[in-house]
Structures are given as C-alpha cells and as structure tokens.
Amino acid sequence: MWIDPKTLAPVAAALEKSGYQQFASPGDRHGSWEWSFCRVSGGLTRFVILAATPAAHGDKLEMELWIGAEADQRFTRRRVESLKVRADALPAIAEDLSVRAERAASKANLLSRPDLIEDYPGDVRPRARATA
C-alpha cells in the first residue's frame, strides 16, 4: 500500500511547526504505511508516527497516530488517535489529521523519563538521526 505524502502535507507541516522533523521516509512497515517524525529535547527522543493500515473489508483505512519516547535502553509507545476513513477521502481529512497531529505532538512533549516503562532487548534500539 502506498499513500502520496503530498496528500498529507498539512500533517507534516503541523508536526514541523511543533518542532518535529521527519525521521524516516514514509513507506510500508510491517503491513502499515507509516510516516515517522522525531524531536530530541530534554535528554529524550520523542516520536509522532502517522500510520495507515488497510481495514479487513472494503476500501477503508485505519488511521492512527502514535507517540513515543526513548532514552538509553528504555522506551514507551502509545496510540493516541484512531479513526477509520475511506482511502479516497484522505485529501478531504488532511486538515483534521493535522489538528490531531498537533495534539499528538503536545502529548509526546509531555512524556518524561518515568514514562519510559519498556526495555529494549540488548543493543537494538533505533538510532535517532536528529540532534539536540
């Protein structure tokens, strides 16, 4: 599955306005189309991820926004938004998704070290390309 990132340009603009930068090119990740953004501050790398997964039936997509943070060998990840939309409706809801992305970024900014409740096994944690 592929979504033209230009369709969701308002989402990227909202996240960039919130201090996040594109972490990885949008594309297929384990059956979902994902677009990841990150921000390094206060000793944490924070993430906002937009994901679209084809629904089991029909032409619907499950759109999700995930937030997360990591530092050292610990991390957290939470889904903060979820909605089903028709694939052909993405251009029409891009502005709504950008508002939801801004809210997700605000929630990600509130994550702190005590929120990092999971451990990465060994040395497999992702490496953020951003700098503080």
The residue among 5 and 124 whose pLDDT is bigger is: 5
Residue 29, helix vs strand vs coil: strand
pLDDT average, residue stretch 10-35: 90
State residue 3's pLDDT score.
81
Query: Each residue of 31-72: pLDDT tens digit?
Result: 888 999 999 999 999 999 999 998 877 788 999 999 999 888
Amino acid identity at 80: V
Domain ranges of the chain: 5-118
Q: State the pLDDT at residue 117.
A: 83
Whether the pLDDT of residue 95 is over 80: the answer is yes
Give the closest residue to 53 by CA, choosing from 21, 13, 85: 85
For residue 83, count other CB atoms closer than 10 A to its CB.
Answer: 14
Q: Which residue has the higher pLDDT, 17 or 5?
A: 17
- Overall size of the chain counted in residues: 132
* Beta bridge partner(s), residue 69: 46, 76
